Amino acid sequence: MTVTDPGWVDTGSFRPNPGQFPIRVERHLNSFVGDHLPGVTTVTNATRYYALHGLIAKIAQDESLDEPNTIDLLRRSEALLAYVTSVHSTSDEHDKRTPAPHGIDAILGGATTPNGIDLGTAAQIYSKAKWAFSNPYRGSELTLKILEPGGFTPGEWYDDAAARSRLAAVVEAARDATEVAAAQAAELANACLCTTAGSDDGTWLARLLSGDANQSLNEPTVGGLLWQFGRLVATATTVGEVTDADSLADLIMFDPNLRDHPQTEGMIAPHRWRGALLRKESVHALRLIWRDINRLVDGARAVPELIEAFADQLPTVTVAEFRSALPKRVSDTGQPLPAERELKQLPDLERWLAVLMLGAARLDDLEGQELRGFRGALEHTRGVWEELSPGWVAELLKRYDGRPVRDLGSSLATTLVHRSQRVALWKSRYDPRRQVLIFPARLHVKDGVAVKVFEETAPVPATRIPQYLSIARQTGMFTTDADGRFSVGPNGGRLV
Amino acid sequence: MPMGGSQSGRTGDALSDPTFHRVPGLLGPIFEEAGTGDRQMREALFLTFNVDLGFFEARLLGPVRATGAAVTVVADAGVFAPDPRNVRSAGHGYALGLAAMHGAFHPKLTILAGPHRALIGIGSGNLTIGGWHSNDEVLTTIHASRDEGIPSIVSDVVAFLDQLPDQVAISPLARDGIVRTATQLSELRDAGTPVDTGHRLVTSLTGPILTTLPDPPVDELEIAAPFHDPAGQALKALIARYSPARVTVLAQPDQAVMDSGVLQTVAANAGCDLRFVQLDGEHLSPGRYRHGKVLTGLRADESAWSLVGSPNATAAALLGRVPTNNCEIAVLSQTSRSLLPQPTAPVVDVATLTKMIGPLPEDDGPAGPDGTVRLLEARAVDSGIEVHLSGPTPTDVAVEISPYAASPDTFELLGTITSGEAVHLFPGLFPAGTRVRIGEQLQFLAFPDQVVNRVRPAGAGRPNLDTTVTELFTSEVAAAQWHDALTRLLLTNGQTGARAGAPTTPSDGQSDDATTWRTLDDPDRWTEYAEDALTRLGMPIFQLAVGGAAPSKPVGSSLPNAAPAWEDRFDETSEAFEEEETAESAQTSDEESTVPASLSPSQRSRLRKWIADLVTLSPHLPPLERIAVTQLTIAGSSAQIWVSADGQNGWFEPLAVAVEAMARDDWPTTAADQAAGVTAVAIYRLRMAVPADERGPLAERFRALLQGMTPLLERVTAEAVADNLEVLAGSTLVPRSADDVLAEITDVCNATPERAILRVLERVLPEHDIAWAGPSRLIVAGRITNPKAIAGRVLNHAASLGELAVGVNAANGSWIVAAKIPGRVTVVEGGKGQTTYKTYDIPLQSNPARVLTGSEALRSSRVSVPPFNRPDPLDMVALARLGIDEVPLVK
């Protein structure tokens, strides 16, 4: 029997962290790009690492290296490749569009010597992970069969000669070197990340990343889908100006010449990508709306007041009236029109809402492969649309058709606040022993009060297209001119 | 969090961490009570202002139900605005009551009561994630025990509960829960010895709280509260009652709601010195939201009494009474310490403290001319749905309904309650979880018989605390307790095993192997068993055993149907890395090992024995326990406790025994995929111990083991494997994927003898190209200096094939063909020199490869005769039988 005298509760550690995907509206899009752009992820941005990892695996196999020695060679080689690229980046010959090598900041910050770097130290500090940067690349390397599942061993499509063409010297130098002077690194300049396009490993990797051209056009494998996307990009560069992922996306979505181009006739990937990219517009609009709701919280704000403040920014016209003023979405021939690009006259929040409305309407515009790219198969289950999917938005619009847009905004904001807390609770982890609760959210609703713990952001949803364009350029599949316009490169022959 | 401009008086000095008088929270005692497994608690009651049902159901309901209690939650109807997608169990896993009154229903009271013990918490924290985790809250915890004494404040709590339903309109089923709780507590009180601890409960049920406080005088008042009424009435009344020389208000800039100017005026008019303080450094580094409410009276610089609980420093909380003002409770106690955290510093710019947010979430002033009729309950009765309002409705109100399986966004009209009615019966049958709505007010269909369902005592198999895998391998005590719980399960069962397994369990102690698990496909039986298993295994191991989908689902709250179509699918995303990540930020520490390396020899020995004992139990355990043992044995295989890491003389045999126990064809549907996934991972782990040449006792044992596993492995899914990869941590060079495991399983389970030989040869001769060139014809090529030796090695590894031709083609041009048929081997060599043909008789039981690798004496068995540069009829027998019409062999 006890009464514990009153006091402040020791609730242990409450660990907020920002987390990502705060409203989890990108599930279908992520799933789509995973299936349709294999071999590329958002973090595999330097192509030559594919070759380096394959080469280290091959050497480990040939020399029967044990784990510590394999890791040691991997780390020393990655660290040296980073330094070689860093040294080369100061020369005029360096291609400035090349991504920074992994771990270079740590190397330059902690392993420099008067003449260069201490390679042993660099290999220790440039990455905290045991297997360094092979982990982020591993999934893609398995997909491309550069490595084999089940261990760190070379895979079926690993090309030893190509990998060694530029990297053998780096790996050999990395084996035993202690200090590497800048001059020594300069001698290895032909292994710099920027030289991939013009070397044998670039040719080999371009072959892998070009996918499989010998697939059925309407029932392709994953490799076939990769090839179809490459061909779509190659065709797009001849139809319009491709300077980045956004310009490419607009061509895929809205350009009738690309849609009907004989080069892509019979292929399914262009249609699916058109649907997926249109969906991306809705996903991004939801993120922007959520970010703007967060911006209305300065420290803390009662949730009802927050909802009201959000709704007050919206017009008083009815939803039906608002929708009737939206631009035309489809041409007479069924071609999607760039309605989402014709909303610039609207204030931001109304623009995001308009994009959502357009997305909901496009559900009825699209069919076949375009529809398949636009929405996930599970988003409509037993008559119920998944929350925040285009179909769900369409039903919401129907319910609010005759009511003010402000009421719609109020409902949408309530949904987003609720959803963000469900996501955070779903992601939270509690350790009863240590009484530690990890709660990943930027906006916490506490006892009816919304408290901003971290600033919210609204990144452009990942399509992997920026990464694809980058690595495709690095391998020589594509090249860019002085104005940044893409065209098919020396290793892109399989795409045309 | 952005901060406003209020500055403390200290600047530039080194800041020290604030010191609070900390007391343990309620989570520990609740988990501990759940861990005892005797489930003696009968009632659990939560009174709260705000409630976050998603948090409650996901984090608290399971442990509370595991104490054995029927659960009742009562929240303020006026602020009740749940996210319906977050509510699964209201109305059947627990009673969700709403309280409607003019003031705020504001008590924060937690009670778990049983015939032997009770746990009571009275504080400031709502039933929300803030109130239980992230805010700074105050609390008084009371433990009552029939054997060790009953604090006198328990009688105060009983009295409060006795009065509450008469003064506040509360949902009928929740009112029943309050009455049951009061009854349970009073029975305990009457059965135990009363002890006066000096703590007293004060409430606003019997009068304004201010009038129940100790008599004057006090020299100084200290106030910590997140809300002060805007007119400063509470402060004015406190000063009027006590005439203190000084009042100290602990402020929290930007968060505490007050009008500092008004408070200053009130104090100045009364001639009282009002000081605002804040935690030292709080303007630089904001801390948690301080939601605790403390009022302390100081006498001669020493604390005299403290009021700690729900009342804010507002008129509605301190100056009024139920029902026109708030319902509040707090503990009044003598204390020798100030409860303000230290150190504090004066607020320099007091004006910046003024913050009025509105409508206040704890706007605990009178509700004004509200009179809103609240939806209190929707109860399933035999003839339909009985809807209860807080009073007669002045106008007709439409009642809408959203069946559980339908989208929570869509409602249809159920009917209308006409003016003057407070209760209305609507016809219709709807499932648990169904939502009922009047305007914006929401409730969940309640089933009277289900909300009083209690989890039965675990009986056999005393429970385990929430031990993690790591703890099992680092704490001998935890490991021993865990093993003991499973052993007791067997010793006392039949029982638990039988209940889990089937009603057909023999009473003579026959193992569970002899019973069927088919009856566990009944959802109710499975739920009942799973709750028992949770108690025995502890939450972490239980979750591991159940698999990846389980942790987010509250135990004991499973609904009768499958997941609704609207259920969130947050986890189904295939993006490998989150989009704002880079390769640098995506890196995670992969250094963690299941077991620290520094174990003594005796510790290692005991852990080895522990695993061996566990797997001995396994064939007699129910499904989830059996899965858990296999998982632990996999995890243990990479522990630094074995003589060698490769499985020899170590973990291989215990794991093989565990896997054997998985070979059943009647796994309950709910557990079958998980069983298959765990078994696949176990086999993958076992395969690592099999030598590359797949020979020897481990290989034999492995092959034999596989024979019985096919039915289970046929249903293995990538998802189930992925859920269990964590138990492989530390055992593999790099993290394995589910595809890695599935590929290996497919290989070892489906291989023909030819494929198996090829797999072996690829491992033992990795530098050479090896391929089948046709039936019984194998070709090895590459940089080979001694083709004959290679052919000999191939014949050795292909001993299981009665007929085989091996062609070895060296890069330098030399080659050999060795054709083996029963009792005879023909060897043809060529390339660099003249082609020769030789045939040897091979006695039964002799190794054919010895003609290629053995001494000249062994070659005396040669039966072909010179000249050897052309084949004689004897040579042609084996060659013809194997379809070889030209040499060397080519693809």
Quickly state the pLDDT bin for B363 (edges 50, 70, 90): very low
Can you state the angle between helices B476-491 and B623-637, rounded to 10 degrees?
150
Among the listed residues B296, B295, B242, B299, the one whose alpha carbon sits nearest the alpha carbon of residue B267: B242
Backbone angles phi, psi at B437, to 5 degrees: -140, 140
Mean pLDDT, chain B, rounded, equals 82
SS (H, E, C) A467-485: HHHHHHHHHCCEEECCCCC
Compute the average pLDDT of residues A466-492: 94
* CB within 8 Å: B589 and A439: no
* CB within 8 Å: A6 and B140: yes
Burial class (CB in 10 A: 0-12, 13-18, 19+), B15: middle
Report pLDDT digits (tens) over A311-331. Answer: 999 999 999 999 999 999 999
The CA distance from A137 to A393, in Å, is 37
A130-144, B265-279, B825-839: range with highest mean pLDDT = B265-279
The CA distance from B51 to A419, in Å, is 16
* CB within 8 Å: B31 and A432: yes
- DSSP, collapsed to helix, strand or coil, labels residue B826 as strand
Among the listed residues B191, B171, B252, the one whose alpha carbon sits nearest the alpha carbon of residue B8: B252
> Which pTM does this prediction carry?
0.70
Question: What pLDDT was estimated at residue B216?
Answer: 87
A102 reaches B (C-beta below 8 A) = yes
The CA distance from B388 to B549, in Å, is 37
**pLDDT over 50 (residue B1):** no
Q: Which residue of B has its CA nearest to A381?
A: B565
| Residue in A4, A20, A43 closest to B23 by CB | A4
Question: What pLDDT was estimated at residue B198?
Answer: 92
* CB within 8 Å: B584 and A103: yes
Q: Which two tokens stand for residue B686?
A: 């076992």
The CA distance from B797 to B761, in Å, is 7
DSSP string, A409-427: HHHHHHHHHHHHHHHHHHH
Report pLDDT digits (tens) over B260-297. Answer: 999 999 999 999 999 999 988 776 666 788 899 999 99
Q: What is the distance, to the nearest Å, from the Cα of residue A308 to the centroid of all Cα atoms in its chain?
A: 34
Quickly state the pLDDT bin for B456 (edges 50, 70, 90): low
Q: How do strand B293-299 and strand A380-381 relate by DSSP bridges?
A: unpaired
A289 and A388 in contact (C-beta within 8 Å)?
no
Q: Which DSSP letter does residue B56 get?
A: I
The CA distance from B650 to B638, in Å, is 10
Q: Which residues of A touch B292 (CB under 8 A)?
A: 8-9
Burial class (CB in 10 A: 0-12, 13-18, 19+), B111: buried
Backbone angles phi, psi at B299, to 5 degrees: -130, 130
Please enumerate, as own/partner, the contacts of B156-165 that have beta carbons within 8 Å and a separation of 24 or more: B156/B200, B156/B201, B157/B109, B157/B111, B157/B120, B157/B122, B157/B185, B157/B201, B158/B182, B158/B185, B158/B186, B158/B189, B159/B201, B160/B201, B160/B203, B160/B205, B160/B329, B161/B45, B161/B185, B163/B205, B163/B206, B164/B205, B164/B327
Q: What is the distance, to the nearest Å, from the Cα of residue B793 to the centroid of all Cα atoms in its chain?
A: 52
Compute the average pLDDT of residues A55-78: 93
**pLDDT over 70 (residue B569):** yes
Q: Which residues of B touch A453 (CB under 8 A)?
A: 1
Which A-chain residues 270-289 have CB contacts (< 8 A) with chain B? none
Backbone angles phi, psi at B682, to 5 degrees: -65, -45
**pLDDT over 50 (residue B558):** no
Compute the average pLDDT of residues B531-548: 73
Q: Which residue of A has its CA nearest to B200?
A: A3
Q: Which DSSP letter does residue B521 get?
A: G
- DSSP, collapsed to helix, strand or coil, labels residue A231 as helix
> Is the reported ipTM for this assembly greater than 0.85?
no
B494 and B583 in contact (C-beta within 8 Å)?
no
Compute the average pLDDT of residues B460-467: 49
H/E element, A76: helix A67-88
A469 and A486 in contact (C-beta within 8 Å)?
yes
Q: Which DSSP letter does residue A177 get?
A: -
B823: left (phi over 0), alpha (psi -120 to 50) or beta: left
The CA distance from A346 to A348, in Å, is 6
Report pLDDT digits (tens) over B685-740. Answer: 888 888 777 778 888 888 888 888 888 888 888 888 888 887 776 555 556 677 77
A186: left (phi over 0), alpha (psi -120 to 50) or beta: alpha
Which A-chain residues 429-448 have CB contacts (< 8 A) with chain B? 430, 432-433, 435, 437, 439, 444-448
The CA distance from A97 to A471, in Å, is 11
| Residue in A10, A298, A433 closest to B24 by CB | A10
**pLDDT over 50 (residue B502):** no
Sheet containing A443-446: give its strands across: A300-302, A449-452, A443-446
Q: Which residue of B has its CA nearest to A49?
A: B583
Q: Which residues of B touch A387 (CB under 8 A)?
A: 85, 409, 566, 568
Residue A366 neighbours by CB under 8 Å, 6+ apart: A275, A278, A336, A374
Q: How do strand B836-841 and strand A384-385 relate by DSSP bridges?
A: unpaired
B382: left (phi over 0), alpha (psi -120 to 50) or beta: alpha
- The two most distant CA atoms of chain B are separated, in Å, by 131
The CA distance from B416 to B420, in Å, is 12
The CA distance from B30 to B119, in Å, is 8
Among the listed residues B226, B199, B223, the one whose alpha carbon sits nearest the alpha carbon of residue B210: B223
Quickly state the pLDDT bin for B90 (edges 50, 70, 90): very high
**pLDDT over 50 (residue B84):** yes
Question: What pLDDT was estimated at residue B506?
Answer: 34
**pLDDT over 80 (residue A169):** yes
Q: How do strand B220-224 and strand B246-250 relate by DSSP bridges?
A: parallel
Residue scoring higher pLDDT (A240 or B473): A240
* CB within 8 Å: A152 and B288: no
In a mutagenesis test of the A interface, which of B578, B589, B690, B742 is the best target, namely the one with the most A β-carbons within 10 Å?
Answer: B578
A465 reaches B (C-beta below 8 A) = no
Q: What is the distance, to the nearest Å, from the Cα of residue B214 to the centroid of all Cα atoms in its chain?
A: 46
| Residue in B86, B135, B199 closest to A446 by CB | B135
* CB within 8 Å: B740 and A150: yes
The CA distance from B665 to B655, in Å, is 20
In a mutagenesis test of the A interface, which of B587, B683, B684, B748 is the best target, namely the one with the most A β-carbons within 10 Å?
Answer: B587
The CA distance from B346 to B880, in Å, is 105
Q: Amino acid letter at B432?
A: A
Backbone angles phi, psi at B250, to 5 degrees: -85, 115
Q: Which residue of A has its CA nearest to B50?
A: A447
Q: What is the distance, to the nearest Å, from the Cα of residue B224 to the centroid of all Cα atoms in its chain?
A: 36
Among the listed residues A388, A197, A203, the one whose alpha carbon sits nearest the alpha carbon of residue A279: A388
- Name the minimum distance, in Å, from the CA of A124 to any CA of chain B: 14
Report pLDDT digits (tens) over A364-396. Answer: 999 999 999 999 888 888 888 999 999 999 999
- DSSP, collapsed to helix, strand or coil, labels residue B401 as strand
Residue B580 neighbours by CB under 8 Å, 6+ apart: A20, A457, A459
**pLDDT over 70 (residue B553):** no
Asked if omega into A404 is within 30° of 0 (cis), the reply is: no
Report pLDDT digits (tens) over B733-768. Answer: 556 677 778 888 887 776 677 877 887 787 778 778
In a mutagenesis test of the A interface, which of B105, B133, B400 is the best target, namely the one with the most A β-carbons within 10 Å?
Answer: B133
The CA distance from B648 to A427, in Å, is 41
A68 reaches B (C-beta below 8 A) = no
Q: Which residues of B touch A43 (CB under 8 A)?
A: 576-577, 581-583, 586
Q: Which residues of B touch A150 (CB under 8 A)?
A: 736, 740, 743-744
The CA distance from A243 to B569, in Å, is 36
Query: B879: number of CA atoms within 13 Å, CB side?
Result: 22
Total Cβ atoms within 10 A of residue B285: 11
Q: Which two tokens stand for residue B857?
A: 């004496």
Among the listed residues B309, B416, B379, B421, the one whose alpha carbon sits nearest the alpha carbon of residue B96: B379
Compute the average pLDDT of residues B835-858: 76
Produce one character per residue of B354-370: b if its CB has 16 or more CB atoms within 10 Å, e if not. bbebeebbbbbbbbeee
* CB within 8 Å: A43 and B586: yes
* CB within 8 Å: A425 and B55: yes
B83 and A418 in contact (C-beta within 8 Å)?
yes
Q: How do strand B200-203 and strand B329-334 relate by DSSP bridges?
A: antiparallel
Q: How far is CA B414 from CA A62, A399, B436, B489, in A?
A: 75, 18, 9, 50
Which A-chain residues 140-179 have CB contacts (< 8 A) with chain B? 142, 149-152
Q: Which residues of B touch A16 (CB under 8 A)?
A: 134
The CA distance from B47 to B122, in Å, is 10
